[in-house]
Structure 1
Amino acid sequence: MANNRAVRVGEQMKKELSDILIRDIKDPRVRFVTVTGVDVTGDLQQATAFITVLGDDEERKATLVGLEKAKGFIRTELGKRIRLRKTPELSFSFDESIQYGNRIESLLRDLNKNDSNE
């Protein structure tokens, strides 16, 4: 049962976090960020937000610095919006699945191109 609650809290955090990043964060380093998911521990003490950032490695690093700097504000806003007794500690991690998927798609295209040339 706690696992279902953690999933529900994660989904709510994802929605609210996306809204906060779009509307409330004014840091120019935090642009073009998409929250792809939030994993919350069963005890609701820790949460990891998975994000994607449009741009190169430098922009990704700058975005992470901006998010870390705004973490206190973000956590406070999340606490107001999701109404938990204690807002989970928040960390950010890059979601590599999109890049991984793009790489696989590129490899498959190359294989198909080689097959049609033979």
Structure 2
Amino acid sequence: MAKSMGEGPGMPSQRQLRVGELVRKELSDIFTRGQLSDPDLDGVIITIPEVRMTPDLRLATCLVMPLGGRNADKVVKALNRSAKFFRGQVSRKLTMKYMPDFRFILDTRFDDDDRIGTLLMQPEVKRDLDAIAEDETDDRDD
């Protein structure tokens, strides 16, 4: 089956995106119901913004963030310890040829965005960005 025009190298296929979203929803339901087997996860509210699937759908990388970011490393370690439990729970809800293994990592995208925003607001960088914007404006006027 040929790839669609919107997919390039390194871009996930529609199937990867669809399965990732199904897995994310099921994990989210498990966390919402409080069906957690690890005492380190008791009372912790966990958000799963994204699940990335490998092309063969055998590994699901789950980006997670505990509410407020408190004890993030401890929560990620506890989730990885309980990965087989979650795999079993999700396999009861989804019908797939192979149930993927789960790997949990901390979602740092928002922190990265804040860091980049802070860097862009530094006086040296802002001065350079303003100069580039002025050059582009002058080029349009000509």
Q: Does the pair score TM above 0.5?
A: yes
Residue 69 of structure 1: how far off its partner (Å)? 2.2
Identity %: 30
Gaps of 5+ in 1: 112-118
Which residue of structure 2 lines up, in the alignment, with residue 55 of structure 1?
A: 69
Say which of 23, 26, 41 aligns to 1:13: 23
Larger radius of gyration: 2
Q: How far apart, in 1, do the equivalents of 2:107 and 2:69 lie? A: 14
Change (3 A) 1:65 1:36: same
Matches within 5 A, 1:30-109: 30=41, 31-53=44-66, 54-56=68-70, 59-106=71-118
Kindly indicate whether the alpha-carbon contact (under 8 Å) linking 2:51 and 2:62 is maintained by their aligned counterparts in 1: yes
Say which of 32, 36, 45 aligns to 1:25: 36
Residue 106 of structure 1: how far off its partner (Å)? 4.6
Which residue of structure 2 lines up, in the alignment, with residue 116 of structure 1?
A: none
Task: Give the secondary structure class of the aligned counterpart of 2:60.
Answer: strand
Residue 4 of structure 1: how far off its partner (Å)? 1.5
Taking CA–CA contacts closer than 8 Å with sequence separation of 6 or more, which of the two structures ends up with the larger relative contact order?
1
Kindly indicate whether the alpha-carbon contact (under 8 Å) linking 2:31 and 2:45 is maintained by their aligned counterparts in 1: no
Kindly indicate whether the alpha-carbon contact (under 8 Å) linking 2:91 and 2:99 is maintained by their aligned counterparts in 1: yes
Q: How far apart, in 1, do the equivalents of 2:100 and 2:37 lie? A: 23
RMSD: 2.4
Compute the TM-score of the two structures, normalised by the length of structure 2: 0.66
Stretch deviating more after TM superposition (75-84 or 95-104): 95-104
Residue 77 of structure 1: how far off its partner (Å)? 0.9
Q: How far apart, in 2, do the equivalents of 1:103 and 1:29 lie? A: 29
Gaps of 5+ in 2: 4-12, 124-142
Compute the TM-score of the two structures, normalised by the length of structure 1: 0.78
